[in-house]
Chain A
């Protein structure tokens, strides 16, 4: 039995090797590798030199899950050679995957194996000739550091230090991006003695792409140090970064501002970060202002509570006011997406006095995205001052967005309709917004018509079947006689969406007759959509109507001259029987 089994399994291996060497890589590499995995014959594909990056990528990924297949943690080190060579290839995604897998299997090494097999590999990579291997090495230090002896630790720190001052910027970038992670696994004394100097050096690198990565590391480093050391060890560098001559670095500071704020604590925030934040909000580059504007709410939220209001009112709000009339629309729209959140922090009175004018100004902004962002965050204000304060300005803004020339803008406002309807109430809706909702049904973009049907369904769910019967259904059914077949189809789509929410009675008495009548439409697309609709609304109808009314029509459609009509009619018949 065992012998037969052996033969049985050797054969496919031979096939596999053959397949792997096949030039034609159309085969699904996943399957190939998965099967391979089952046979765990590591040396075979180690020797199979493949240069197709897609294959290498899959290989690099799968090898990370191989531990059990090579015989468990005891043998896991035999996965290292193939991963090592994958960690040196040019293609970044392959290399990154190989590093990811190496990091994964490093955890499965025993401390001894880690020193005997893994750490030498890291060293080899770190001193490789070509930048790719050195880049990969940067990601491996932190995973082996905690579990090796102190002499090896010293070596690892030395290697990391060397890579931080590598002469290729690619390697320095890799090192800078892992600096924070590495700092976390280091003993506190080495954070101070090693990491800080590396951090300072990287943060003043000649390339801005390196400097900006140091900002990211700053967050982790600041969390590791005791409060009293921050001022001398981290703050000089951070201050310098916030005023860097490259906007990319300043952008990064703005982008990481909340994290930085949490890392340095409230005292430094008050003294240093508040003015820095003001500067970023007033930066000369729109990119930086936008990134900072995005953080306004979070920054304010995290200010120390004792004098939060005072800081916001005297330092932040004046900048915010200026941003409302910024020249760049991205800045305004970034601000619009968070500004409403300030109302919960500042409370009712301040909101009415200081924020409301800003909201109203943004609601009238020339850029649709700004208005949209305000409208989409109405719920925050609703909680604090109620939406009524805004409704006067809201309506013109909504109407204008509803007719915006860009369909994506129209789509976005449709999506907020159910929410708005809920907050404004049925009366306001009927009076002001209903016509808009109906107009979208005949929009010239399909996505809008589709969203409009879906919107109607949500409205019916909110306002009930009776409301639907009085306000929506007649208009929808009226479109069944429209000369434009696209509009006639919209009727069908609406019926599909509404039948369930409207219930059996409305569906049978009002909708069904219209659908049945449309089965004589001269456009085939309408006819096969009738078949589809009948299938869709079938579950809502009673069996009598199904038998006496629906079935004959479907049978007639099943003999239609058009192929598609026939197909969908037949499908509906089989599903209903």
Chain B
């Protein structure tokens, strides 16, 4: 130090940056659903002090079943933990009885029971979901808000699933009550923040899709609408992963050749779903759906890959890694004839990823070379792929900051060398002159733009009458 301190304060080891704030531990939150105007007076149910078994099997049971169903239509306020304790317990045990009853009993499902079951289920589960507690709810970081009325709700769902799965269940009667409106409300519930509820909903919807052929097209269309709204309007919907999971098995059952409607769904809905910010929450399910489609109809490979390339997350490394993972899944099932159609744009992108300064992106892309099937495809088409990849690989082998990446790149280069040594040597030899040519072209472009701007300027002046024509 040239200007040695003499007068300034003695020891200067004080850390200027002290940190006081410590993040508070998060509390588990729970909330009730938005049961508008349900609070108020205490609720009284007259206990039916008889279990099903005590009743004469044939005659009176169905009637008791209906009565119990009617009682369970009453909804309690669970945010008030002290109110109606006795009645809440009574309803819980009644629901339990109902669950047992539909599981073991035979001959209980009279035609009159259907509307009552649907009514009871509707009364309990259909509700406006409450506003999310935090404005910027981040499903990855924040604890989900749990449904306060779960002790009852769970049993209602349990009961409904047993009902749908019961051997006596007849869709032809039920379809009068489980209709489009019912399904629509059911789908809206998938936005629930409580993962336990979404899990039950998934099973319920799956059963309905399976048993009600007349509702299938409608369900698919409404899921379509939910996704489109999610992608283009709100970017918020909690149940995307669950819906995609159901779709995964639906797609599996599509008949060939695929209908135009299904293809449109793939291209116009599933592909744009990749653009959503919270992709990580449902990416696995989404990729599964995409691969299902491609296994059904390989000719869809090209539009799918082009779609992914169009929406490539240029500025989000985390998503880039996901895209690369999905592409590998696609490449695992790609047919060589399809591969040839798409290899050029695809490898241009991969070449960009390989040279990404973010090492996870580069690493993920370089892992492709560990995949035997992909390697065989590359080998078959090395004359096309090698020139695309070469300059990126060559450059990062020299200048990437991360030694692990450099090592991986050496392996890839080695593989290329073994694959097609003549082309490899040729590319090595022309590398420098190619770079210069590129630079020159870049410069020319810049000059052209400048010229254009000058021209524009002159025009402007001319139209202002400054330069005479």
Q: Which residues of A contact B (CB under 8 A)?
A: 1, 5, 8-9, 12, 15-16, 19, 27, 31, 35, 38, 51-52, 90-92, 130-131, 168-170, 173, 206, 208-209, 243, 245-248, 250, 284-287, 405-407, 444, 481-488, 517-518, 520-523, 526-527, 556, 559-561
Contact = CB atoms under 8 A, between A and B. Distances in A.
Nearest to A28: B449
Contact of B16 (A12, A90, A405, A485): A485
Contacts of B18: 444
A287 B131 contact: yes
A247 B12 contact: no
B355 to A, nearest CB: 15
Interface in B4-20: 4-12, 14, 16-20
A483 B34 contact: no
Given A208-B128, A405-B21, A35 B8 contact: no
Interface range for B: 35 or more
B9 A483 contact: yes
Contacts of B452: 12, 15-16, 35
B39 interface: yes
A484 B229 contact: no
Contacts of B420: none
7 contacts: A15-B452, A51-B310, A170-B229, A284-B34, A287-B131, A483-B10, A520-B3
Contact of B455 (A12, A130, A169, A208): A12
Contacts of B21: 405-407
A65 B401 CA distance: 47
A284 B3 contact: no
Given A12-B452, A405-B21, A521 B5 contact: yes
Interface in B33-74: 34-39
Interface in B445-463: 445, 448-449, 451-453, 455-456, 459
A527 B4 CA distance: 12
Nearest to A482: B9
A487 B14 CA distance: 11
B1 interface: yes
B2 A245 contact: no
B2 A247 contact: no
Contacts of B11: 483
Contact of B130 (A209, A243, A285): A285
Given A483-B14, A518-B8, A285 B455 contact: no
A130 B16 contact: no
B224 to A, nearest CB: 9
A322 to B, nearest CB: 14
B19 A444 contact: yes
B8 A12 contact: no
Nearest to B9: A483
Nearest to A37: B456
A484 B14 CA distance: 6
Interface in B410-469: 445, 448-449, 451-453, 455-456, 459, 469
Nearest to B272: A90
Interface in B353-393: none
If over half of B's interface residues share one DSSP class (helix, strand or loop), that class is named, otherwise mixed; here it is loop
Contact of B225 (A51, A170, A517): A170
A247 B9 contact: no
A559 B1 CA distance: 11
Contact of A284 (B1, B36, B181): B36
A484 B268 contact: no
B137 interface: no
A19 B445 contact: yes
B9 A481 contact: yes
Nearest to B449: A31
Contacts of A208: 128
A9 B34 CA distance: 66
A90 B181 contact: no
A247 B14 CA distance: 54
Nearest to B11: A483
A19 B453 CA distance: 14
Contacts of B272: 90
A513 to B, nearest CB: 12
A407 B456 CA distance: 51
Given A481-B9, A521-B5, A559-B2, A284 B20 contact: no
Interface of B: 1-12, 14, 16-21, 34-39, 128, 130-131, 181, 184, 225, 228-229, 232-233, 268, 272, 310, 445, 448-449, 451-453, 455-456, 459, 469
Given A481-B9, A483-B14, A485-B12, A130 B268 contact: yes
Contacts of A27: 449
A450 to B, nearest CB: 14
Contacts of A9: 455
Contact of B7 (A1, A170, A517, A560): A517
A521 B38 CA distance: 70
A565 to B, nearest CB: 9
B19 A520 contact: no
Contacts of B7: 517, 520
B12 A8 contact: no
A560 B184 contact: no
Given A12-B455, A559-B2, A561-B2, A522 B20 contact: no
B311 to A, nearest CB: 9
Contacts of B17: 444, 486
A206 B310 contact: no
Contact of B131 (A243, A285, A522, A556): A285
B184 A8 contact: no
Nearest to A443: B20
A247 B225 contact: no
B276 to A, nearest CB: 13
A35 B456 contact: yes
A444 B20 contact: yes
Given A9-B455, A170-B233, A284-B34, 12 more contacts: A5-B469, A12-B448, A38-B459, A90-B232, A90-B272, A209-B229, A247-B36, A284-B35, A287-B131, A405-B20, A483-B11, A518-B8
A407 B233 CA distance: 34
A8 B21 CA distance: 65
B5 A247 contact: no
B3 A483 contact: no
Contacts of B8: 518, 520-523, 526
Contacts of A245: 36, 128
Given A15-B448, A131-B228, A35 B233 contact: no
A206 B130 contact: no
Nearest to B21: A405
B6 A484 contact: no
Given A35-B452, A38-B456, A483-B11, A169 B5 contact: no
Given A247-B130, A481-B9, A170 B445 contact: no
A246 B8 CA distance: 67
A35 B37 contact: no
3 cross-chain pairs, A with B, having the tightest CB-CB distances, nearest first: A522-B5, A486-B16, A484-B14
B232 A523 contact: no
A206 B459 CA distance: 58
Given A35-B453, A522-B5, A285 B181 contact: no
B297 to A, nearest CB: 21
A31 B449 CA distance: 9
A488 B448 CA distance: 53
A287 B34 CA distance: 11
Contacts of A444: 17-20
Contacts of B10: 483
A561 B225 contact: no
A520 B36 CA distance: 70
Contacts of B128: 208, 245-248
Contacts of B232: 90-92, 170
Contact of A556 (B3, B6, B12, B36): B3
Nearest to B18: A444
Contacts of A173: 233
B363 to A, nearest CB: 25
A520 B1 CA distance: 11
B16 A560 contact: no
